[in-house]
Structure 1
Amino acid sequence: MQTLHPSLASVDPLLLGETLIRLNVLPIGTLHIDIEDTSFISNITFGMKTINAVAHSTQHLLSFHLMLANPRPWLEWIAPLRPGWIFFHAEALANPAEDLAAIHRTGAKAGLALNPATPVANYVYLREHLDGLLIMTSEPDGEGQRFIPAMVDKVTDASTLFPKTAIWADGGVDPAVAPALRKSGAQHLVLGRAVFSHSDISRALQAFAGE
């Protein structure tokens, strides 16, 4: 069984409040919040006003994926919101061990996110510091965020090199690719359009449970 994390970046912003109400009664792992400000990838998602509103409108824990060139200052704002998980992008960090320690001080589980071109093996030295490793299975906000089949092998490498670390897959994930990701060792799936492009969110989530 894989834990599902719906990503609010894929929600119609005009329906965000209504969607949160619907998600509140569904069995999910966390609400996943991508924070992007154009410093790391060419997109803007949520500011703190929206993030605070989400945090106070849900009973679910939040997982944060900070796609930022300088993510550390955001911890001060995120820490009061009961974060369950916080991921920094490895490519943006000069001293990742220090950054992971800073995440742990918020009370959240600490993770690194890796873009498709970033080798997993480079971060084996951080095994004892990591709670989670998020493998981007599509280019961030690129080519329609299509799933890259070669990333299944990368998930396998991650689960082998990090046997005590929770492996996440994020990017273009749908019910067709979920079984291969599960078999390769991805225990957590971040879901976007595969859930929110459907009118029935509950049924869309059930499609993953029925693999």
Structure 2
Amino acid sequence: MQQPVRIAPSILSADFAALGRDVAVITAAGADLIHVDVMDGHFVPNITIGPGVVKALRPHSHKPFDVHLMIAPVDPYVPDFVEAGADIISFHPEAGPHPHRTVQLIKSLGRKAGLVLNPGTPVSAVEPMIGDIDVILVMSVNPGFGGQSFIESQLAKIATLRRMIDASGRAIDLEVDGGITPETARQVVAAGADMLVAGTAVFRGGPKRYATNIAALRGP
């Protein structure tokens, strides 16, 4: 049975001069997870933060830290993000030659493992690992920058993945990231998503608006 939708605000859209404050405020405002986008300027055309920042933010929220690694290689950095306080570590199968080994590494360190599908990555990338992963993250924009528009073609992918998850009988979270607004949130939830990553839609308007923005994404 599909779970109620959970909201994971992406701190990529937060105030980087006040990240600790913003993480604390979105926690109090009703966030279910804290989504952390890690970019290396190599795998994607942007550079964000590393494990040191994750460690510094960890005391500011009791919510799970949902860390999305847009880096290559992945494996050498997984232990650092685990030590920093990541609860979920998601990565792209294109980031290394042995994605199943990366899943095994994450799980061996006691964390949930997620596989990320870019808009151009086929659903078939999930099939060999569906018995081991905990999260599937569908990118509904090309990764690298916040504030992009939702790619409608990903709705069919989300629906296909929902059927795959249900057929597997496993409790795999289906997460969607990119161009999430109150309007697109309805579409992706209808297609089968149960976790939504949102940056601009949560952080617009400043801290006084965070609770209202999160509620709008949840819908009626």
1:116 corresponding residue in structure 2: 119
Do structure 1's residue 134 and structure 2's residue 137 form an aligned pair? yes
Aligned to 1:129, the other structure's residue is in SS state coil
Do structure 1's residue 9 and structure 2's residue 16 form an aligned pair? no
Aligned to 1:202, the other structure's residue is in SS state helix
C-alpha separation between the residues in 2 aligned to 1:186 and 1:74? 28
The CA RMSD over aligned residues, in Å, is: 1.6
CA 1:148–1:76: 2 relative to 1, 3 Å: same
One of 173, 188, 200 as aligned partner of 2:195:
188
Q: CA deviation at 1:22?
A: 1.1
Amino acid corresponding to residue 69 of structure 1 in structure 2: A
Q: CA deviation at 1:60?
A: 1.6
Deviations 1:54-101 (A, max 9, x none): 112222220100000111111121112342211011111311111101
1:208 corresponding residue in structure 2: 217
2:175 corresponding residue in structure 1: 168
1:47 corresponding residue in structure 2: 50
C-alpha separation between the residues in 2 aligned to 1:15 and 1:91? 33
CA 1:97–1:66: 2 relative to 1, 3 Å: same
Aligned to 2:30, the other structure's residue is in SS state coil
C-alpha separation between the residues in 2 aligned to 1:30 and 1:9? 14
One of 24, 28, 36 as aligned partner of 2:27:
24
Stretches of structure 1 lacking an aligned partner (at least 5 in a row): none
TM-score (norm 1): 0.94
Do structure 1's residue 83 and structure 2's residue 86 form an aligned pair? yes
CA 1:196–1:104: 2 relative to 1, 3 Å: same
Segment of structure 1 superposing worse, 75-84 or 186-195: 75-84
C-alpha separation between the residues in 2 aligned to 1:77 and 1:3? 26
Deviations 1:9-29 (A, max 9, x none): 111212323212312323322
**Contact 1:5–1:30, Cα closer than 8 Å, also in 2:** yes
C-alpha separation between the residues in 2 aligned to 1:36 and 1:82? 17
Aligned to 1:190, the other structure's residue is in SS state strand
Aligned to 2:156, the other structure's residue is in SS state helix
C-alpha separation between the residues in 1 aligned to 2:181 and 2:61? 24
Segment of structure 1 superposing worse, 47-56 or 31-40: 47-56
TM-score (norm 2): 0.90
Percent identity reads: 29
Amino acid corresponding to residue 204 of structure 1 in structure 2: N
Deviations 1:148-195 (A, max 9, x none): 011111101111122232111001111101111111110100111011
C-alpha separation between the residues in 2 aligned to 1:37 and 1:122? 23
C-alpha separation between the residues in 2 aligned to 1:197 and 1:113? 26
CA 1:143–1:203: 2 relative to 1, 3 Å: closer
Q: CA deviation at 1:48?
A: 2.7
**Contact 2:55–2:85, Cα closer than 8 Å, also in 1:** no
**Contact 2:7–2:31, Cα closer than 8 Å, also in 1:** yes
Q: CA deviation at 1:118?
A: 0.5
